[in-house]
Amino acid sequence: MTKTPPPEQSKKLGIVNQALIFIEKVGNKLPDPITLFFYLSIAVILISAIANLTNLSVVHPATQETIKAVSLFTPEGIRRI
Protein backbone atom coordinates (compact mmCIF):
# COMPACT_ATOMS: atom_id res chain seq x y z
CA MET A 1 0.00 0.00 0.00
CA THR A 2 1.50 3.31 -1.01
CA LYS A 3 0.81 6.50 0.81
CA THR A 4 -0.09 9.54 -1.16
CA PRO A 5 1.71 12.67 -0.11
CA PRO A 6 -0.46 15.25 1.63
CA PRO A 7 -1.53 18.15 -0.53
CA GLU A 8 1.00 20.96 -0.40
CA GLN A 9 -0.06 23.99 1.52
CA SER A 10 0.15 27.20 -0.35
CA LYS A 11 3.47 28.89 0.35
CA LYS A 12 1.86 32.21 -0.44
CA LEU A 13 0.85 33.82 2.83
CA GLY A 14 -1.76 36.50 3.15
CA ILE A 15 -0.80 40.06 3.97
CA VAL A 16 -2.08 39.69 7.55
CA ASN A 17 0.05 36.59 8.16
CA GLN A 18 3.10 38.31 6.68
CA ALA A 19 2.53 41.31 8.94
CA LEU A 20 2.18 39.06 12.00
CA ILE A 21 5.37 37.19 11.13
CA PHE A 22 7.20 40.51 10.75
CA ILE A 23 5.87 41.77 14.10
CA GLU A 24 6.91 38.53 15.77
CA LYS A 25 10.46 38.72 14.38
CA VAL A 26 10.87 42.35 15.42
CA GLY A 27 9.34 41.68 18.85
CA ASN A 28 11.72 38.80 19.47
CA LYS A 29 14.68 41.12 18.87
CA LEU A 30 13.57 43.62 21.53
CA PRO A 31 15.20 43.56 24.96
CA ASP A 32 13.35 42.70 28.18
CA PRO A 33 10.49 45.02 29.17
CA ILE A 34 12.33 46.29 32.27
CA THR A 35 15.28 47.27 30.08
CA LEU A 36 12.97 49.09 27.67
CA PHE A 37 11.35 50.90 30.60
CA PHE A 38 14.76 51.96 31.91
CA TYR A 39 15.94 53.26 28.51
CA LEU A 40 12.69 55.13 27.87
CA SER A 41 12.78 56.67 31.37
CA ILE A 42 16.31 57.93 30.78
CA ALA A 43 15.22 59.30 27.39
CA VAL A 44 12.31 61.22 28.96
CA ILE A 45 14.60 62.68 31.64
CA LEU A 46 17.15 63.79 29.03
CA ILE A 47 14.50 65.26 26.72
CA SER A 48 13.01 67.22 29.62
CA ALA A 49 16.46 68.59 30.51
CA ILE A 50 17.08 69.65 26.90
CA ALA A 51 13.63 71.24 26.67
CA ASN A 52 14.32 73.17 29.87
CA LEU A 53 17.74 74.35 28.66
CA THR A 54 16.22 75.64 25.41
CA ASN A 55 13.40 77.41 27.29
CA LEU A 56 10.74 75.46 25.44
CA SER A 57 7.19 76.58 26.17
CA VAL A 58 3.72 76.08 24.72
CA VAL A 59 0.38 77.84 25.07
CA HIS A 60 -2.51 75.83 26.50
CA PRO A 61 -5.31 76.05 23.91
CA ALA A 62 -8.18 76.30 26.40
CA THR A 63 -6.75 78.66 29.03
CA GLN A 64 -4.18 80.51 26.88
CA GLU A 65 -1.71 79.96 29.72
CA THR A 66 1.98 79.60 28.83
CA ILE A 67 3.44 76.32 30.06
CA LYS A 68 7.22 76.04 30.35
CA ALA A 69 9.20 72.80 30.22
CA VAL A 70 10.50 71.56 33.57
CA SER A 71 13.68 69.51 33.84
CA LEU A 72 13.36 66.15 35.56
CA PHE A 73 17.15 66.11 36.00
CA THR A 74 17.07 68.42 39.02
CA PRO A 75 16.34 67.58 42.68
CA GLU A 76 12.85 69.09 42.31
CA GLY A 77 12.31 67.14 39.10
CA ILE A 78 13.35 63.89 40.75
CA ARG A 79 10.80 64.57 43.50
CA ARG A 80 8.18 64.99 40.77
CA ILE A 81 9.01 61.57 39.39
User: What does the pLDDT look like over 12-45, one tens digit per residue?
Assistant: 778 999 999 999 999 999 999 999 999 999 999 9
- Residues 6+ positions from 67 with CB-CB distance below 8 Å: 57, 58, 59, 60
Whole-model pTM?
0.65
Higher pLDDT, 80 or 57: 57
Binned at pLDDT 50, 70 and 90, residue 7 comes out as low
The reported pLDDT for the residue numbered 11 is: 62
**Residues ≥6 apart with Cβ < 8 Å to 68:** 52, 55, 56, 57
Strand partners, 58: 67
Q: Are 37 and 44 in contact (CB under 8 A)?
A: no
When pLDDT is cut at 50, 70 and 90, the band that residue 4 belongs to is: low
